[in-house]
Chains A and B, each alone.
Chain A
């Protein structure tokens, strides 16, 4: 019974494919994998826009939108209608073809990256041998869409915003990829399904998620920060903040194309969160053995919603970083920490063979010291040399 609920989507897909004519089987199978993704994630996007506005409102001591439906639940529909009916203005001097294609390229690249994530037990659209590499390769193509948007608008502010955005995204791609290398090192494979299956093993009733190890914890935190920067979210949202250069590379976009950019950005956030859940939080596996009666896809989306809540919380709490602070943070702080994390992973892996009582605690302490040492030292080294603040009051 639990198995049946867990595999319900697989069973439905198999039934549909079996009852379709012979020649169309491949096409029907592909559609059965692709259409649910293109339905579920935009719905999640609509839900997230509402959650974000209400969450931010509560953090800022006000209600979010609460007029459109009960508790504002129909607000995304109102937003969608607004975006669809706005006039689509294209500047006269703009490069029409590139201006039109930019949101499409962004959406295609982001939707492609959803195809290798394992959403549940045996529920992967494509089980690639090099799934992680595919994800990052396609993610790198989104930066080109940002450039296309900024350049085709023939607007100096758009171009400046696009260049800043691309510089930020490239700088944070290095810690993003480097922080996932320890996972690959210890799993021995780039295939995401294998990584999740290895994390689904239960040791003393607790699942062996990667985040329960020192290198996994450090890697997850580094991945989280890099993912925040890759999706241009606060505190790294200089390219598109409302109080900055108009709207950066999105200045000349209105109506439906702006909605497509918005959708693409949030879908990128979901993709990166899902990747973080897959690599560090155990994907679709439940945390404790006695909780495994809940279906695997429920656990995946539960953790995904948890990550989204974390991103909304960060947005409401932290101030924005300047561009130079942001770039310095990536190259001088996060990159050395990612490299130290590789060393910590190696230490953890090779100290696995100590069979002394209390070895686990000892290993944890060593690994934490190895990663916390550079963290503290780099912080001291790069601290801005300003003295204590001096207040002078009017006499």
Chain B
């Protein structure tokens, strides 16, 4: 594997760990943004150009800002952490996560699908040639038009729902 893969992967996993473990919540949000950027670089290495740019546009440009706004509007950056969580709670959470990782890692390391030789050079060459934006557009409007319309409905519903939920109540009925 090229050395750039190890650098980007290390950056992504490192910032992921830091995003989940830092005390200051705004730093967590900013490191999450770094994780998203690292993932976009990994998608570029996997030759998925459109997905990488969509990841940057949607996750970094919208979801990260949404998280930051939520942090600001709920004053979470001011509240310090009060009582420490008991060690048992932290340990059991970490254990569950470690078990999940171990299960998936074992499945990956022992699976014959993963160990099989890489596809032939001709197939790889056609991958690097084939995924133009036009192909994605034609698939979206051809085979995947039903999920497209449903996602459009879902996004409209989420937009209206989020606006209604977060709306400040006018008549003071708290």
Contact = CB atoms under 8 A, between A and B. Distances in A.
A and B interact physically? yes
Interface of A: 98, 128-130, 133-134, 136-141, 143-144, 147-148, 151, 159, 163, 166, 170, 173, 188-190
17 contacts: A98-B26, A130-B49, A133-B53, A134-B53, A137-B53, A137-B57, A140-B56, A140-B61, A140-B62, A141-B61, A144-B60, A144-B64, A147-B65, A159-B72, A166-B65, A170-B65, A189-B134
Contact of B56 (A141, A143, A159, A190): A141
Nearest to B131: A129
B87 interface: no
B57 A144 contact: no
Given A130-B133, A140-B57, A166-B65, A151 B26 contact: yes
Contacts of A148: 30
B24 to A, nearest CB: 8
A143 B49 contact: no
Interface in B4-48: 26-27, 30, 33
A129 B136 CA distance: 12
Contacts of B49: 128-130
Given A98-B30, A130-B49, A137-B53, A143 B132 contact: no
B65 A190 contact: no
Given A140-B57, A141-B60, A129 B132 contact: yes
B50 interface: yes
B69 interface: yes
Contacts of A144: 30, 33, 60, 64-65, 68
A143 B62 CA distance: 10
Contacts of B107: none
B70 to A, nearest CB: 12
A30 to B, nearest CB: 15
B54 interface: yes
Contacts of A170: 62, 65
Interface string B126-144: 0000001110000000000
Interface string B51-87: 0011011001110110011001000010000000000
A129 B133 contact: yes
Contacts of A137: 53-54, 56-57, 60-61
Top 5 A-B residue pairs of the complex, sorted by shortest distance between their CB atoms? A140-B61, A137-B57, A137-B56, A133-B53, A137-B53
A138 B56 contact: yes
A394 B68 CA distance: 53
Contacts of B77: 151
A130 B136 CA distance: 11
Nearest to B37: A141
A6 B14 CA distance: 48
Contacts of A188: 134
Contacts of B61: 137, 139-141, 143, 173
Contacts of A189: 133-134
User: Which of B62, B64, B72, B133 has the most CB atoms of chain A within a 10 A radius of its CB?
Assistant: B133
B138 to A, nearest CB: 11
B134 A136 contact: no
A140 B60 contact: yes
A189 B136 CA distance: 12
User: Which of A133, A137, A159, A190 has the most CB atoms of chain B within a 10 A radius of its CB?
Assistant: A137
B151 to A, nearest CB: 17
Nearest to B40: A137
A143 B65 contact: yes
Contacts of B72: 151, 159, 163
B64 to A, nearest CB: 6
Contacts of B27: 98
A166 B69 contact: yes
Contacts of A166: 65, 69
Contacts of B30: 98, 144, 148
A273 B106 CA distance: 53
Contacts of A98: 26-27, 30
A130 B77 CA distance: 38
A188 B133 CA distance: 10
Contacts of B57: 133, 136-137, 140
A144 B56 CA distance: 12
Contact of B50 (A130, A136, A159, A163): A130
A128 B33 CA distance: 24
Contacts of B64: 144
A100 to B, nearest CB: 13
A373 B77 CA distance: 48
B80 to A, nearest CB: 15
A137 B41 CA distance: 13
A39 B27 CA distance: 34
